[in-house]
Chains A and B, each alone.
Chain A
Amino acid sequence: MANKSQMRKNTLLGYLFIGPWLICFLAFTALPFAASFFLSFTEYNMLSVPKFIGFSNYIRLFTQDNLFMTSLGVTFKFVFISIPLRLLFALMVAMILNRDSKAVPIYRVIYYLPSILGGSVAVSVMWKYCFSKTGVFNSFLNMLGIPCNISWISNKDTALWSIILLFIWQFGSPMLIFLSGLKQIPRSYYEAAVVDGAGPVKKFFRITLPLLSPIIFFNLVMQMIGGFMVFSQAMIITDGGPMNKTLVYALYLYRQSFAYYKMGYGCAMAWILLVIIGFFTALVFKSSSAWVFYENEMFDGKSNKRKGRARRK
């Protein structure tokens, strides 16, 4: 009996511990989540009660709304360019920082700074001035003897690139994760490879990449999700312009919801975005068996072969 009441007490205590999280999850994630699903089937302007209209929002999105397609296109372009580049950059810097030196912690802070600052309004505003016609970037080019007269943020071909660049610049958090991943790789592998006569390129492709692939996988998924929801940079630097060249999906969603009083429509857009993100995430997961390598699977037949090959060479 005493045992039973003890157990109940423990259970209660357990719930008490996760309580704060649970309440926040229910109030700020689960509830809005369910509400937005319901609202996506309504006409809702926030100022009066929602009116149920079935699939009309979704139908309108796909049949009548040109900007929906435009914003999707912009977002895809943004994600597929900026995410690989951001990861590449993060990995590169992580490799450079992955060494024994007293200065490394300082470098780590310096390289992480843009990620802390990058989301802030101030940096977006700064970016705006850096890449304007008379901005720092053009002055810099001119100093190098490259005469440049483009207003990067308002030129129709470069506007999106200036935002992509800002996004890449904030490579700090994937970099930190890469760095900890690199530190996990046993040094003995590299030593063995050196003994076998492997050069730096071979070491990178045969040891670093395969052993880092779970980390790459994790970063890719997380960054992709973040990339699809890019908002603040586009809003502040270009406000979607010029000519909707930087109208990213989240910005258009925001406009529909808050500027045009079409919250129901905005919710429908959010659900489509969710499906899109889910689709690409699933795709990455599906493909992962082909390229992600877990060290603890080494004793499976498949992975053994791979390692064996590395050994032979």
Chain B
Amino acid sequence: MKWRKVTALALAAVMCISASACANGAQNTGNTTQAESPVNTTVESQTSAADNTTAAPGNDAGNQAALRVAWWGSQERHNMTIEALDAYAAEAGTEFSYEYTSWTSYFENLATQAVGSNLPDVIQMSTTDIINYSKNDQIIDLQPYIDDGTIDISNIDQSSLSGGMVDGKLAGFTTGVNTVNVLYDKEAFDQAGVTYPSNDWTWSQFIDTAKAVYDATQIPTELPFLAEARWLVEAMVRSYGYDFFSEDGHSLPWAEDEAVVTAVIQAVQDIYDGVKAGYFVDPEVQIAWSTTEDYFIVKGESAMSFQLSNYYGVYCAAAGKELGMVMLPKMDGGSQTGMYLNSNMYWCISANCQDPKAAAAVINYLINDEDACKMIGTDRGISLSGAVREMLASSEDTDVYTKNTLNYVNEVSSAVKSTNPADPLNSAEAISVLKNNFTAAMYGEMSAEDCITDFISQAASILPE
């Protein structure tokens, strides 16, 4: 009887281990089955119905293989991009195979494809991830295709183009620039009798404004960038003339300057004081927001909201009215505006692309072609091309929101000299520490001082030496 029990036990143990290992293993090795991951809302390898493309992942060198283009985004972005690329396909005879997904699963898929040396030819890339792909030679230098004229940069702002540089190589072509802004609800301000903010306002004026509107109307202001505190702190340290990450990506240059650190801590404290006093939104409420419709600014329940400028149109549309838009406040002790321009995202060409010249031509089309830019609008940021910007600003098809965004970005770019470079290695992990600490500070679980000093010390160990 006993041996039976022992075998049963052993068998059960093996089964348990293999059951758990199965799930673990599948998850870790980047297996595409993703049994564990439910966020698999991807639409993989969707070939467009309009042209007769064959999804040929092998990229046969002999016949003219379909160019695989990958991007993440919303349904609107999918539609706009497919429309633009289909038009190109009809004209140039290039065959496309589209691989578009939501943001959540995009980079898992991409990494898995990289493992199999099966990356799409043209890849939409984010500012945090490009460094990994470039440093590991998964994407190629685009400079040769600019030199041979495939990508026309005669209308492109050179300073913004540098946003795609990694180690002296043009790893990605900036799809458009983006920046941060403060949206304000004009009705709330009118009701409170408070004057609208202006581009040269300071941090203390911002706090006073939030308080004044709240005192008069009980309408609070949203916590600045609770979902990504880095955007807030970046604007603060830039006010003092520092970059957020050092050029070599090994440190936080502003962390050495005690005056700056103190000022950032004080600013975090200011916000927390506002949370306690009620003129900022309760962090427990705000942290649960995920879609545009959740934001109070859309419902007319908040006075001000910190956002990225490419979403301006989306927020106005959701609010059903034209929201005011102004630059982030400058720090009181700072020497300049804290505003900055970011590459919103990039177009990259993978190293295993069989026909990089054709891929570069597609990028050129998406960047420079007026019709393509009309279809895509400012969805991937404000175009680097002066000609395209002018075309969009003067076109009758362009709505007032897009025009406002164009004006705003023009104002910012005249105040800011260069575009941020791509984020350094391990930045994603460091930024998540800041986000977490900032949340904890807003919850009152962490002092403002610990929030910043703990981030500085953790970043030192996370960023590469």
Chain A residues within CB distance 8 Å of chain B: 28-29, 32-33, 35-36, 39, 45-48, 64, 119-121, 124, 128, 132-133, 150-151, 153-156, 221-222, 225, 228-229, 231-232, 235-236, 241-244, 250, 253-255, 257-261, 263, 266-267, 270, 273-274, 277-278, 281-282, 285, 297, 300
Contact = CB atoms under 8 A, between A and B. Distances in A.
A243 B41 contact: no
Contacts of B22: 28-29, 33
A243 B288 contact: no
A156 B283 CA distance: 11
Nearest to B446: A243
Contact of A32 (B16, B25, B283, B461): B25
Main secondary structure of the interface of B (DSSP, over half): helix
24 contacts: A29-B18, A32-B26, A32-B31, A35-B25, A46-B114, A48-B137, A121-B38, A124-B38, A128-B290, A132-B288, A133-B285, A151-B284, A154-B283, A225-B19, A231-B36, A232-B38, A235-B39, A242-B443, A259-B107, A259-B428, A259-B429, A260-B429, A277-B16, A297-B1
B38 to A, nearest CB: 4
A128 B284 CA distance: 13
B28 A36 contact: yes
B36 A250 contact: yes
Interface in B413-456: 426, 428-429, 432, 436, 439-440, 443, 445
A101 B30 CA distance: 48
Nearest to A218: B12
Contacts of A255: 432
B25 A241 contact: no
Interface in B237-278: none
B26 A236 contact: no
Given A28-B31, A242-B287, A46 B111 contact: yes
A158 B209 CA distance: 34
Contacts of B283: 154, 242
Interface centre among B41, B282, B288, B436 (most CB of A within 10 A): B288
Contacts of B290: 128
B285 A151 contact: yes
Contacts of A260: 426, 428-429
A28 B33 contact: yes
A126 to B, nearest CB: 13
B440 A243 contact: yes
B436 A243 contact: yes
Interface centre among A46, A128, A242, A257 (most CB of B within 10 A): A46
Contact of A285 (B13, B18, B20, B112): B13
Contacts of B36: 229, 231-232, 250
Interface residues of B, number: 54
Nearest to B129: A261
Contacts of A28: 22, 25-26, 31, 33
Contact of A29 (B25, B108, B133): B25
A231 B24 CA distance: 11
Contacts of A32: 25-26, 28-29, 31
Contact of B136 (A47, A228, A229, A273): A47
Nearest to A258: B108
Interface of B: 1, 9, 12-13, 16-31, 33, 36-39, 41, 107-108, 111-112, 114-115, 132-133, 136-138, 282-285, 287-288, 290, 426, 428-429, 432, 436, 439-440, 443, 445, 461
Given A128-B288, A241-B287, A64 B25 contact: no
Given A133-B285, A229-B20, A263-B30, A47 B37 contact: no
B101 to A, nearest CB: 14
B37 A225 contact: no
Contacts of A221: 12, 16
Contacts of B426: 260
Given A32-B31, A258-B107, A242 B133 contact: no
A41 to B, nearest CB: 13
Contact of A156 (B20, B39, B443): B443
B288 A229 contact: no
A153 B283 CA distance: 12
A269 to B, nearest CB: 9
Contacts of A235: 37-39
Contacts of A225: 16, 19-20
Given A29-B22, A45-B132, A236-B38, A254 B429 contact: no
Interface centre among A29, A278, A285, A300 (most CB of B within 10 A): A29
Interface centre among B38, B132, B138, B428 (most CB of A within 10 A): B38
Contact of A278 (B1, B17, B112, B443): B17
Contacts of B17: 274, 277-278, 281
Contacts of A48: 136-137
Nearest to B458: A66
Contacts of A156: 443, 445
A160 to B, nearest CB: 14
B24 A236 contact: no
Given A47-B114, A236-B38, A244-B436, A257 B28 contact: yes
B24 A270 contact: yes
Contacts of A250: 27, 36
Contacts of A281: 13, 16-17
Contacts of A263: 28-30
Given A154-B287, A156-B443, A281-B13, A254 B27 contact: yes
Given A241-B287, A278-B17, A64 B461 contact: yes
Nearest to A256: B429
A274 B137 CA distance: 34
Contacts of B23: 229
A244 B426 CA distance: 19
Pairs of residues from A and B, 5 with the lowest C-beta to C-beta distance, nearest first: A32-B25, A47-B136, A232-B38, A48-B136, A270-B24
A32 B136 CA distance: 23
A192 to B, nearest CB: 26
A220 to B, nearest CB: 11
Contacts of B16: 221, 225, 277-278, 281
